[in-house]
Structure formats: C-alpha cells, structure tokens
C-alpha cells in the first residue's frame, strides 16, 4: 500500500480532507491540512496525525479509517459521538450494505464508547501514544512495518501527494469492512473499559493509574455545565438546544496558535529539523561523512521540534445585530452562534460581546440570567450601519481585532450595511447571517474578499420539540417516579407571609405582595380581635391568600400595581439600569415594553401608581412621565402635580407597615412521624401545645416511633392516614377514620399556629381570612377534636 492509497478519501464516507487557511503547515503544503467528519466536527490537523503515525510506525499502521475513529473518540472536550455513530450506521443502507455486518457495526460503536469513557489522564500526552500502541498491537488489517515507514518517508518528500488522496473515490465494501471489522475485533479483544486499562498497565508502568481510575468511578458529577443550564431553563431552552449542534459543524478556528505546539510528549518532541545547538549529542558520534549526509537529508535528530512562527493573537469581538429584522428566531440563532463561539471547548481566549442597535452596548453571556436579559434587547432601528460605523471608526480604531458580525441574511442587501462591511473588511474577519428557517451562513474576509466557508441548517422544529416544562411549584413537579398530589390555590385559612418579597403595594386601600416565588399575594391589617389576651405579636398583621401564580418577572428594578378597566391586575416594572419600562397583564400574560434610552429621567425617579396611571415620579421635576394602564404600553410627558406627591407619601407610609410581617416557613419536608411523646414531628420539629390555648413547632428532642411513608408531597402512615405538604407553608391532614374531617395547620417555625377545618377555626387569628364564615373555637377544643384524634387513630392501629 502506497501513501496515496493509505490516505485516500471516499465519497459519502465518515471523513474527508479539508483546508484551514488560517493554520500554516511546516511542510510548506497548506492545502488539505485538516481531517473532519462532515456535520460532526474536526478530527485533527494533518501535522498532528502524521506525528502520531510516526510513533506507531514501529509496529505498523492500523487501517486509516479505524485510526481516525479512535483518534476522535479519545479527544478531550465536547465530542459529537452520536454524529459519528450515525455515519457508521448509515453504511447499512449502501448498495453493499448486505455485505457489512450489522453486528460488527454495533461492536465497533461499543468499542468507541469504551474509549470515550476512559479516564482523561489515559488520553493525554505520552499516555495517548501508549494507549494507541496497546490497542493496535497485533490488530487485524495492519500495514507492515516496512510499508508504514515508506508511507511516512514518501509523504515527507512530497506532501503534495495528499492532494491526490483528497480527490474522493467511489466507496467500496472492502474499505468499509476493513475499518469496521478492525474495530469490531478490537472490541472482542477489549470488551470493557477495565480490560483496556489492564492491558495498558501490563505494557507501561503507570503506578498511579489504578488509584486515579477508581477515584473517578466513585465520583458523581453534580455540577451542570452552562449549556445544560441553558437547555433546562424554559426561557433559554431555544438558545441552549442549538449550541452543541452549531459546535458539531463549526469550522472557525478557536485559537490562533501554531499547530506545532500541540503537545504529545516523549520521543515525539524530537525532530529532523532544527538548530545545530539543539541536535542530539549522539549524532556527533557518527563518522563525518555519515554525519553530513544525515544533516543534508534531514535525517539528523534534534532535541525540540522547530515550531512555525505563531500568528498574532487577535482580540476577538462579537457584534450582535438587535434591529427589528433580527428579531424572533433569527435573534435566537444569533445568540446561540455567539455563545457557541465563546463557550467552545477549544476556545481559550477572552471574547467581548456587543449588542448593536441605536448604540453599542457591551453585554455578558456568562450566566443564564444574563442570557435571558439580553435576549430581550431590541432596537427600533431597521438597520445598524451607524452603530457599526461608530464601533470601527470611533470606539475601536485598533487594527488587531478579529470581529464577528451576526445579522439577518436580508440585511446584507442593504446598501449602508454593504458599505460599512466593505470599508472595515480588514478587521471584520467573520460575517454570520441568520434566517427564520434555521439557516446559518458563515463568511470569512480573506485578503479583501469575502468567502463563504460553510452553511449550517438547524432543524428548529426537531430541536425545539420538547421544551422543559415551566415548573409551577415544587409540589406540582412531575418526575419519572410518579405525580405529586395536586394542591389547591388557597385553603380555608391564610398562608403565612413569606419573609422574602420582591415588592409590596397599597392599591385602592388593599395590600398586595409580589413574593420571591413569583406570586401575587393579598393580605390585610386589622385591629379587630377575638381574643386580646393572646397573640399580641399579631395584633395588626395577617397571613396572605394567593391571587396569581407563575408570574414571569425579573426580580429587579421598581414595581407598581393597578387594575385595568376589565379589573385585571397590571404589573408595571421599571429597570433604571436599562432604561426599560414594561407592563404585564397578570391575568392574560400580555406583555409590552418600551426603551427610554435618551429620555431625561433623573436617577432618583421612582415608579408609582396614582389616579388611574403609573408615573416615573420625581418631586424636583416640573414634568414627569405617565404610563398608561389599559392597552399596549405608551408614555407621555405630563405636568407634575402636588397631589401626586401627597398621595405617594401616604401610600408609602401605609405600605411600609408590611415591612416586618414575614415568618420563616417550613417548606422543605423530609421525615414526618409520631415521637415517643405521642406528638406529631414534621422535618425535625415537634408540634407542641406547651402554651395555653395554642400550638407551635419546637425542635424535636425525642425519638420517632412511627414513620409516615413519603411519596412526593404525600406522607402516609401505616393506618392509611395522610399528611399532604405544601411548600408555601401548609399541611393538610386526612385521617383514615371517616369521622375525622380534613383539617389544616400552617407550617412555620415561628409564632403560634392555627388549626382549621372547612367549617371551624381555632388558634392565631393571623391565619383567619378577612371575610370568613368559619366558626371560631378555642384551640384547646380544636386540638382535642381533630389533631389528638388523628394521632390516636395512628397509635391504635400500631397497637
């Protein structure tokens, strides 16, 4: 087998020769310097492949296709192994498919999976060479040692011969069978990860290997990577689901360093080219004639390879078009492309990102929250050529820039955009265009001309088919082991007020809370009590009822609340840092926003409600902005009115009365049972009646003798009695005795509690609704009539 035949590529096969113009080759032949898997990813540069093969020539070369598959499987970083397996399985559909054993294909895939699952330390440096030597020792379909050396020698004399191999030939069954059968037989020889490790230990001395591998196998990775976080968040799912697909086809160089720096270690650091001072001392022991011949024929060995000159390290900047045409799916593709470049496993340099609209705004895409925020950026301009001009001519005049500009495909037809791109083509290195149907096109400016380097067509319908469910609350979450017990929106008694709030409002004499759990709560204050001797702490405060859940809002900025003409709740939000004002109809989920950049809004302005309108109020200003309540958002400048300030002062004072009425809620439930004192225990807290006419939770100090079995948010005792938990701060008791009605107790760590059925109430009036038909009784009677009977029913069953 000669060099051309060994490196021959084939039509519709899993690998192909390609050219990366940005990376020079030390042979002087820069064409076909890269091997990649179509629509999957890069395998390696030609220089690196040749260096690896030089290490394997003493034992003879394996089939080139088998070698490439294994080389890809043992790489570090993100690997699209599913794409590789797709290429292998599709060989069954070829005209000669009946000649390719399906079983061999499955065995080959299993072997690649085992290699991919090897400990990382085994796949780096000299260990990588040891691994390959171990695998390919005595493998089938090997090239002889003599032929292997001849292939390397002929390539070194004439690297251009690769150009002939790059011209694809018709794929034959012999080629496919040779590559796949070799891997299948290797799987029979090394059926498990452990068998590969054992073989390596027998070949080389790796004293620390056993300990490292065992440690890795017992370690469970709990931290999710950034891309997975994007995929699991409903707000960023569309962006996150595209990134790895973009990675698999991305041909943009991730770093601008010479490939000669790729570390291998060991003997591979020797070279036949270099300076005289770096020549091995053993070479000087040769006869003069032999010595001169070895130097002249590039056969002398040097201590370090000659590394080609490095390219300049450019500052990489990504510009994202946020104009109207790049809105919707194209904008999702734009952000996914930007994150794919920034977070690529092989990207090691810093990357700055700017959103282009009316101005150039520096943004960050390192956190899920930042991605969510910046996805909402939209500029009212039709095209961004002024911002692009300003970026190059005023803000970034330096020449050592590598700029990516991501815009909609249709924008390239705009004359202003065309002019700006042309004038700055020396620094605008890459141009990426998006479209609504999922097509990405990558262009590169090289020597003054634009070259189309690749097209990536993303199947949006398929990738976006299964978005993560938006979780309503912890108890309604569905997992693989079953469904949580459904919970009502409210109970006969009030919820405890959470200590953490986003905002609190006074509207038309009523108090409302926007909680950290994205709920709109209603509460009230009173001086009316059924028993003034107890619960002095709660003489004005009360719990809350839930009005609306799952409010899609960012917990930042200022808020105001009102009702429209249809009596629907309207939440207005002002984010001073972004100069963004928005309205959300909490009932219909309708949303509208407006950017106030350029408007004269003092930094100490506050968002308030007054007289059927929202205002950006500032007492020192003669005119202020008014925001409408009904319809889509609109803003107008109106004259400041003294009545507004007077009303605001009064409303702020009233709302401030809610500042300290939060209670620590028990929302994370674990063990529930009955302790040796015959009291109920919930998550380490004992329900106690130490005080007259009251119950509360205190730290449990006694053993639990009867446990309830947990199934999601339902705890069932041996007799069939149930306690259903609600993380918002409520316990529902359902006894197996039909004569004991369902009753409810709040779950808080502070203060006195209440006990209520659907008709009777006892305990702290903090939990008593403002307008209720519940009959109020003493807590002593409620305890004995309901909770005590509930516990006795469980104890009697156990007896």
Asked if residue 324 and residue 176 are part of one domain, the reply reads no
Domain count, the chain: 4
Q: How many CB atoms lie within 10 A of CB 190?
A: 19
Classify residue 350 as exposed, middle or buried by CB count within 10 Å of its CB (0-12, 13-18, 19+). exposed
The residues, any chain, with a CB within 8 Å of residue 90's CB and separated by 6 or more, are: none
Residues 497 and 467: their CA atoms lie apart, in Å, by 33
pLDDT of residue 253: 63
Through-space distance between the first and last CA atoms of the chain, rounded to whole angstroms = 86
Beta bridge partners of 478: 483
Residue 321 lies in a domain: yes
Q: For 528-592, give the secondary structure using H, E and C.
A: CCCCCCCCHHHCCCCCEEEEECCCCCCCCCEEEEEECCCCCEEEEEEECCCCEEEEEECCCCCEE
Closest CA to 790 of 721, 729, 730: 721
Residue 789 lies in a domain: yes
Asked if residue 737 and residue 593 are part of one domain, the reply reads no
Q: How many CB atoms lie within 10 A of CB 789?
A: 14
Asked if residue 259 and residue 156 are part of one domain, the reply reads no
pLDDT of residue 782: 94
Asked if residue 463 and residue 403 are part of one domain, the reply reads yes
Structure tokens at 406: 């991501």
pLDDT of residue 214: 28
Half-sphere exposure of residue 446: CA atoms within 13 angstroms, side-chain side: 9
What strands lie across the sheet with 606-609, from one edge to the other?
A: 606-609, 614-617, 623-627, 635-639
Question: Which of 619, 636, 658 is at the close of a domain?
Answer: 658
Quick: pLDDT tens for 159-181.
888 888 889 998 888 888 888 88
Asked if residue 238 and residue 214 are part of one domain, the reply reads no
Residues 387 and 319: their CA atoms lie apart, in Å, by 10
pLDDT of residue 496: 92
Classify residue 285 as exposed, middle or buried by CB count within 10 Å of its CB (0-12, 13-18, 19+). exposed
The whole model's pTM is what? 0.44
pLDDT of residue 741: 94
Residue 373 lies in a domain: yes
DSSP for 280-300, written as a single string: -GGGGGS-HHHHHHHHHTT-S
- Judge whether 150 and 64 are in contact, CB under 8 Å: no
Q: How many CB atoms lie within 10 A of CB 10?
A: 16
Cα of 500 vs its chain's centroid, Å: 27
Alpha-carbon distances of 108 from 44, 74, 178, 433, rounded to whole Å:
21, 14, 12, 38
Q: What is the DSSP letter of 598?
A: T
Cα of 94 vs its chain's centroid, Å: 38
Structure tokens at 581: 């004002």
Q: What is the CA radius of gyration of the chain?
A: 36
For the chain, list residues with pLDDT below 70: 22-24, 26, 76-78, 93-100, 201-224, 253-269, 304-314, 347-349, 380, 397-400, 469-482, 527-540, 660, 798-799
Asked whether the CA dihedral 124, 127, 130, 131 is positive or negative, the reply is: negative
pLDDT of residue 56: 85
Asked if residue 212 and residue 89 are part of one domain, the reply reads yes
Helical segments of 612-675, H only: 642-655
Residue 485 lies in a domain: no
Containing domain of residue 135, as a range?
3-220
Q: What is the dihedral of CA 551, 557, 560, 565, to 10 degrees?
A: -60
List the CATH number of the domain containing 453.
Answer: 3.40.50
Half-sphere exposure of residue 573: CA atoms within 13 angstroms, side-chain side: 23
pLDDT of residue 228: 84
Residue 384 lies in a domain: yes
Question: Which of 196, 220, 244 is at the close of a domain?
Answer: 220
Residues 117 and 119: their CA atoms lie apart, in Å, by 7
Q: For 711-760, give the secondary structure using H, E and C.
A: ECCEEECCCCCEEEEECCCEEEEECCCCCCCCEEEECECCCCCEEECCCE
Residues 247 and 243: their CA atoms lie apart, in Å, by 6
Residue 170 lies in a domain: yes
- Judge whether 307 and 275 are in contact, CB under 8 Å: no
Asked if residue 229 and residue 213 are part of one domain, the reply reads no
- Going by their DSSP bridges, the two strands 315-321 and 351-356 should be labelled as parallel
Closest CA to 156 of 51, 257, 22: 51
Residue 293 lies in a domain: no
Asked if residue 778 and residue 633 are part of one domain, the reply reads no
Asked if residue 232 and residue 208 are part of one domain, the reply reads no
Asked if residue 212 and residue 164 are part of one domain, the reply reads yes
pLDDT of residue 512: 93
Closest CA to 269 of 257, 277, 280, 258: 280
Asked if residue 194 and residue 333 are part of one domain, the reply reads no
Residues 570 and 440: their CA atoms lie apart, in Å, by 39
- Going by their DSSP bridges, the two strands 722-726 and 714-716 should be labelled as antiparallel
Residues 357 and 377: their CA atoms lie apart, in Å, by 9
- Judge whether 557 and 575 are in contact, CB under 8 Å: yes
Half-sphere exposure of residue 93: CA atoms within 13 angstroms, side-chain side: 7
Question: Which of 614, 629, 658 is at the close of a domain?
Answer: 658
Beta bridge partners of 353: 318, 363
Asked if residue 523 and residue 401 are part of one domain, the reply reads no
Residue 277 lies in a domain: no
Quick: pLDDT tens for 553-612.
888 899 999 999 999 999 999 998 888 999 999 998 888 888 888 788 888 888 999 888
């Amino acid at each position: 087998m000669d060099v051309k035949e060994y490196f021959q590529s084939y039509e519709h096969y899993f690998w192909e020769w390609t050219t990366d113009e940005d990376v020079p080759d030390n042979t002087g032949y820069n064409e076909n310097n890269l091997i990649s898997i179509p629509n999957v990813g890069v395998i390696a540069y030609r220089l690196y492949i040749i260096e690896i093969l030089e290490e394997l020539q003493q034992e003879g070369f394996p089939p080139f296709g088998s070698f490439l598959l294994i080389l890809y499987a043992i790489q570090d970083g993100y690997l699209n192994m599913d794409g590789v397996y797709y290429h292998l399985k599709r060989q069954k559909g070829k005209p000669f498919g009946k000649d390719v054993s399906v079983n061999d294909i499955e065995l080959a895939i299993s072997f690649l999976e085992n290699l991919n699952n090897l400990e990382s330390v085994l796949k780096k440096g000299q260990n990588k060479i040891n691994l390959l030597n171990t695998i390919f020792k005595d493998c089938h379909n090997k090239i002889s040692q003599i032929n292997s050396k001849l292939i390397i020698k002929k390539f070194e004399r004439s690297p251009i011969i690769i150009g002939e191999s790059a011209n694809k030939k018709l794929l034959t069954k012999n080629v496919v069978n040779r590559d796949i059968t070799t891997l299948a037989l290797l799987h029979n020889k090394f059926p498990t990860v452990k068998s590969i490790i054992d073989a390596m230990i027998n070949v080389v001395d790796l004293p620390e290997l056993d300990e490292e591998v065992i440690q890795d196998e017992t370690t469970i990775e709990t931290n999710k990577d950034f891309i997975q976080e994007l995929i699991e968040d409903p707000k960023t799912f569309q962006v996150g689901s595209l990134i790895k697909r973009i990675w698999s086809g991305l041909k943009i160089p991730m770093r601008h360093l010479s490939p000669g720096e790729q570390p291998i270690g060991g003997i591979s650091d020797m070279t036949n080219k270099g300076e005289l001072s770096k020549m091995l001392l053993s070479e000087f022991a040769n006869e003069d004639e032999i010595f001169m011949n070895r130097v002249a024929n590039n056969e002398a060995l040097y201590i370090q390879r000659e590394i080609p000159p490095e390219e300049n390290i450019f500052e990489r900047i990504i510009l994202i078009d946020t104009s109207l045409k790049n809105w919707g799916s194209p904008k999702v593709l734009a952000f996914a492309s930007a994150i794919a470049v920034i977070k690529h496993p092989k990207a090691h340099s810093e990357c700055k990102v700017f959103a282009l609209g009316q101005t150039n705004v520096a943004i960050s895409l390192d956190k899920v929250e930042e991605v969510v925020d910046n996805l909402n950026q939209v500029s009212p301009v039709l095209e961004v050529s002024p911002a692009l001009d300003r970026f190059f001519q005023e803000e970034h005049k330096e020449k050592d820039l590598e700029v990516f500009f991501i815009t909609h495909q249709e924008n390239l037809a705009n004359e202003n955009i065309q002019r700006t791109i042309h004038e700055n083509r020396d620094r605008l290195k890459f141009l990426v265009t998006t479209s609504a149907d999922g097509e990405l096109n990558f262009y590169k400016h090289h020597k003054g001309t634009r070259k189309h380097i690749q097209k990536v067509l993303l199947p949006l319908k398929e990738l976006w088919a299964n978005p993560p469910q938006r979780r309503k609350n912890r108890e309604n979450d569905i997992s693989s082991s079953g469904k949580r017990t459904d919970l009502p929106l409210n109970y006969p008694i009030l919820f405890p007020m959470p200590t953490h709030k986003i905002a609190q409002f006074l509207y038309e004499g009523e108090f409302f809370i926007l909680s950290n759990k994205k709920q709109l709560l209603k509460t009230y204050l009173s001086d009316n009590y059924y028993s003034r001797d107890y619960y002095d702490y709660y003489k004005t405060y009360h719990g809350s009822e839930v009005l609306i859940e799952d409010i899609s809002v960012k917990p930042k900025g200022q808020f105001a609340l009102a009702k429209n003409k249809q009596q629907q709740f309207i939440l207005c939000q002002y984010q001073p840092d972004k100069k963004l004002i928005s309205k959300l109809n909490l009932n219909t989920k309708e949303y509208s926003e407006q950017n106030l950049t350029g408007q004269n809004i003092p930094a100490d302005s506050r968002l308030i409600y007054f007289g059927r309108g929202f205002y950006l109020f500032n007492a020192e200003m003669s005119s202020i902005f008014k925001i409408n309540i009904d319809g889509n958002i609109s803003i107008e400048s109106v004259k400041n009115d003294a009545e507004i300030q007077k009303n605001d002062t009064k409303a702020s004072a009233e709302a401030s009365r809610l500042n300290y009425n939060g209670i620590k809620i028990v929302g994370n439930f674990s063990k529930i049972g009955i302790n040796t004192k015959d009291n109920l225990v919930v998550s380490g807290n004992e329900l106690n009646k130490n005080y007259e006419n009251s119950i509360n939770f205190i730290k449990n100090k006694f053993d639990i003798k009867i446990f309830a079995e947990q199934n999601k948010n339902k705890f069932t005792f041996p007799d069939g009695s149930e306690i259903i938990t609600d993380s918002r701060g409520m316990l529902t008791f359902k006894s197996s005795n039909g004569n004991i009605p369902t009753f409810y107790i709040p779950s808080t760590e502070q203060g006195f509690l209440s006990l209520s059925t659907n008709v009777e109430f006892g305990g702290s009036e903090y939990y008593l609704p403002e307008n209720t038909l519940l009959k109020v009784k003493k807590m002593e009677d409620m305890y004995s009539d309901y909770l005590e009977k509930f516990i006795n029913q469980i104890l009697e069953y156990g007896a």
